[in-house]
Amino acid sequence: MHISANFDAGNIEVISLEDNNNIQLAIRPDVGGEFFQWFNFRITGEIGEQYVLNILNAGDAAFPAGWHNYQAAASYDRDYWFRLPTSYEDGKLTIKVAEMECQTLQIAFFAPYSYERHQDLLASVQTHPLVTLEHLGETLDKRDLTLVKISSDASDDTKNNAQTNKPNIWITARQHPGETMAEWLVEGLLHSLLDSDNATGRALLNKANFYIVPNMNPDGSVRGHLRTNAVGTNLNRAWAEPNLETSPEVYYVIKKMEATGVDLFYDVHGDEEIPYVFLAGSQGTPSYNDRLAHLRDKFAEVLKLASADFQTEEGYPIDAPGTANMTLATHWVAERFDCLANTLEMPFIDNYNLPDTDTGWSPERSIKLGEASLVAMLAVVDELR
């Protein structure tokens, strides 16, 4: 029996393999040691055998409450991801493989979205005549930070373009690299938006320009981090004062936003603890106003109609006026551009409104939510400016 995490986004440390019913493992922390919860590894064993895997440092993870009712994701073909019986007790996460069906099984905190699939996504959309791929800059590990621009206008930066009055919609995903459901959502959104048979996508492209960063944190993604980049920076706490030494990803995105302007911002995330899909808005920013409140309410109500996975009852506490943390992307962008800005959160566990015991929250449901998000954007696009 063998366990390996020496691959893209892999993360696990082997402590002991002596007993198939007590395999002892530990999650490797992000650079800096502050955060860890993401794991992703392959176990190679014998068909028909049972294996019990114990992650001994789970109690010290970034969000230990996220282990409550959590079930690990697993796949034999890296396409269909199902859930394994998982329990948490006394700081130890126990994952049970009742019977191996093939020699190798991949087990992860959530279905991975590999860097190779990220490259495939970029390559697939660039063939569309309205798509331009723009290199925003290099990450600290010298990877490309890529922007997908979708527009029927010839001008690259439209803020001061007299030929168009189209609003600019910005979408970012995976500031926290372990939140892979975010890029699954963007994949669904992109393909739906560019589908010539999708009336919602066609209508939106007639009305707005799109600027989409499918992966804000490619370094952390490849390294198998939960929340940080190559030097341990939590990008979603770096928007007030980004710099090229510790947060170039945010620095380059803001530079481009300043060139284009932002009229709607959609920052896509996953939440380790809350088993629902919900929005976190900018109500606590200093300049929040009735116009933005109306847009937010309309966006949320239409998204509820477009996707039964989305709800508005459960979520984060709403910030009191003027108390928002301005280092967060949604808050900073909302204040800087006086625009509708929302963080979308999806669960790692399952959506308790519509639970699925086989897959829990899944890549497929994330993709469908991306498609539904376009309906909500269409509902508000004419009122953005």
Domain boundaries, the chain: 2-108, 115-383
pLDDT digits (tens, 9 = 90+) for 195-208: 999 999 999 999 99
The tokens for 6 are: 């020496």
Whole-prediction pTM: 0.96
Residue 240 has pLDDT above 70, yes or no: yes
* CATH number corresponding to 2-108: 2.60.40.3120
CB contact at 8 A, 159 and 259: yes
Rounded to the nearest 10°, the torsion over CA 296, 302, 304, 310 is -60
Model confidence pLDDT, tens digit, residues 296-355? 999 999 999 999 999 999 999 999 999 999 999 999 999 999 999 999 999 999 999 999
At 164, is the pLDDT very low, low, confident or very high (cuts 50, 70, 90)? low
pLDDT digits (tens, 9 = 90+) for 33-61: 999 999 999 999 999 999 999 999 999 99
Tell me what pLDDT residue 152 has. 84
Residue 95 has pLDDT above 50, yes or no: yes
User: 161: pLDDT confidence band, cut at 50, 70 and 90?
Assistant: very low
CATH 1.10.10.10 at 115-383, yes or no: no
pLDDT at 153: 74
345 catalytic residue (yes or no): yes
d(CA 275, CA 347): 5
Does 2-108 match 115-383 in CATH topology? no
Active-site option among 179, 183, 187, 345: 345
Banded pLDDT at 9 (limits 50, 70, 90): very high
Confidence check: pLDDT of 116 > 50: yes
What does the DSSP assignment read for 5-62? Answer: --STT-B-EEEE-S-TTSEEEEPPPPTTSS-----EEEEE--TT--EEEEETTGGGSS
